[in-house]
Amino acid sequence: MTYAGYFIDLDGTIYQGTKQFPAGKRFIERLAASDSQYLFVTNNSTKTPAEVAENLTKNHDIPTTADQVYTSAMATADYLATLPNVKRVLMIGEIGLRTALEAKGFELVSEAPADAVAIGLDREINYEKLVQATLAIQDGAAFVATNVDTNLPNERGMLPGAGTLVAALRTAVQKDPVVVGKPETIIMNGALELTGLTADQVVMVGDNYNTDIRAGLNAGIDTLLVYTGVSTKEQVAQEAQQPTHEVDSLDDWTI
């Protein structure tokens, strides 16, 4: 099967934390040598596209530019830009989310009132941030989450992810957020719009059935699951909906 474009997950697919995946590097080199368009689509809202590109370029020897990266922070900013009358955004997050929101011209505020609350992973979270976000949502602000990943793999273990903070805020306001990142469709539709491709022209490549593959399934996009990260063959075999394609290594995929 030939695809015009590839949406590609990062951690567990192209590399594992600081560990290089030679097959991931070769896969990108083959894509670059072909006429295929590719975009790294990541739920990580803490880094700017330039930082993601720099990590790929310097640490994994995969030359990448910022315009080849689409983060959940960027998708969140794109989504908020479609909502009427949203100018003041109360943000709980880091530089990636801040940069994306500022690029869209939003006024960032740290206390209520606000037109919207955008929450992602924030490793400097504190009670007062949750207080202000709670008050803003109670007063009618839109409640938008970059992603609800429960954990973040790290050399220290499975650390709390953005979903942990989102759950705390959801408990306080007793309301579900609009979720932007994988496996939801907002980030996928944003990636399609950014590339100018249609759902039938692309394939979503990833290692995690519950985020990457479900994102493709939900958006009507073909999927390629690589068994180098989170999901195992035993787990995936139990799923009602199967990936379009499965490989043990990206070396096994023909472009």
Residues marked active site are found at 9, 11
Peptide bond into 49 cis (omega under 30): no
Bridge-based pairing state of the strands 88-92 and 107-109: parallel
Bridge partners (DSSP) listed for residue 108: 89
Bridge partners (DSSP) listed for residue 119: 92, 145
Q: Does residue 170 contact residue 137 with C-beta atoms inside 8 Å?
A: no
Rounded to whole angstroms, the Cα distance separating 223 from 213 reads 6
3-state secondary structure at position 138? helix
3-state secondary structure at position 81? helix
Rounded to whole angstroms, the Cα distance separating 88 from 65 reads 30
Bridge-based pairing state of the strands 19-20 and 245-247: unpaired
Rounded to whole angstroms, the Cα distance separating 121 from 145 reads 9
Rounded to whole angstroms, the Cα distance separating 76 from 157 reads 27
Beta-carbon contacts of residue 86 (< 8 Å; ≥ 6 apart): 80, 106, 115, 116, 142
Bridge partners (DSSP) listed for residue 142: 116
Q: Does residue 144 contact residue 114 with C-beta atoms inside 8 Å?
A: no
